[in-house]
Amino acid sequence: MIEMKNWYALYTRSRWEKKVAELLTRKQVENYCPLNRVQRQWSDRRKIVMEPLFRSYVFVHMTESQHLTARSVDGVINLVYWQGKPAIIRDTEIEVIRHFLNDYEQVKLEKTEVDLEDKVRVTHGPLMLMEGKVVEVKHKTVRVLLPSLGYAMVAEIDKSNIEKISMISARNAVMIQS
């Protein structure tokens, strides 16, 4: 029987994300440590540095039988659990993170409770055609929700790149399909 690979989140020691990712790679465990391009200012210079987007987390793509190998890596505290089982992260969420970080710099994370309101569709940009529900809109700020992670990635995006999906047009689409 072939085991399915899933994405899981590993909880790491503070500031060990890059080191854990390197050690996992050496053990041939597929991993992803999302790095954010951030500009830092020192007294004598400015520099772009790569910082982990999720502090104390590294994502691993593995089978259940590989859990022990991943947990045995120096710097790993444990797998992240949800309802008593290792939390599985959807492939699509990992892809959204990858695309988001490729297209934007200085991304910020905000811990959020998902409170869904208007349904919207992204019309332009890296998240084009994705549908979701608005949590909050401020000026030009758009939030992309990653529900299983409980975070929202925030980037400045022009409001003209989003269209509201009205309940009437959604109902009409359902009626036409019936």
Tens digit of each residue's pLDDT, the chain (178 residues): 788 999 999 999 999 999 999 999 999 999 999 998 888 888 999 998 899 999 999 999 999 999 999 999 999 999 998 878 999 998 988 998 998 888 887 788 766 433 335 666 666 666 666 666 666 656 566 565 555 566 666 555 566 676 777 654 444 444 334 3
* Prediction pTM value: 0.67
- Biggest CA pair distance of the chain: 66
Determine the residue type at 50.
Answer: M
| Tokens 């951030």, residue located | 38
Structure confidence at residue 58 (pLDDT): 97
Structure confidence at residue 134 (pLDDT): 61
List of domains in the chain: 1-89 (3.30.70.940), 101-167 (2.30.30.30)
CB 75, CB 23: distance < 8 Å: yes
Compute CA distances 163 → 32, 57, 93, 158, whole Å.
Answer: 32, 33, 22, 11
Structure confidence at residue 158 (pLDDT): 62
SS3 22: helix
Report the alpha-carbon distance of residue 77 to residue 143 in Å, rounded: 30
| Residue 60 neighbours by CB under 8 Å, 6+ apart | 7, 8, 9, 10, 24, 29, 30, 31, 32, 66, 70
Structure confidence at residue 161 (pLDDT): 72
Could you tell me what percentage of the chain is helix, strand and coil, using 3-state DSSP and rounding each to the nearest 5? 25, 40, 35
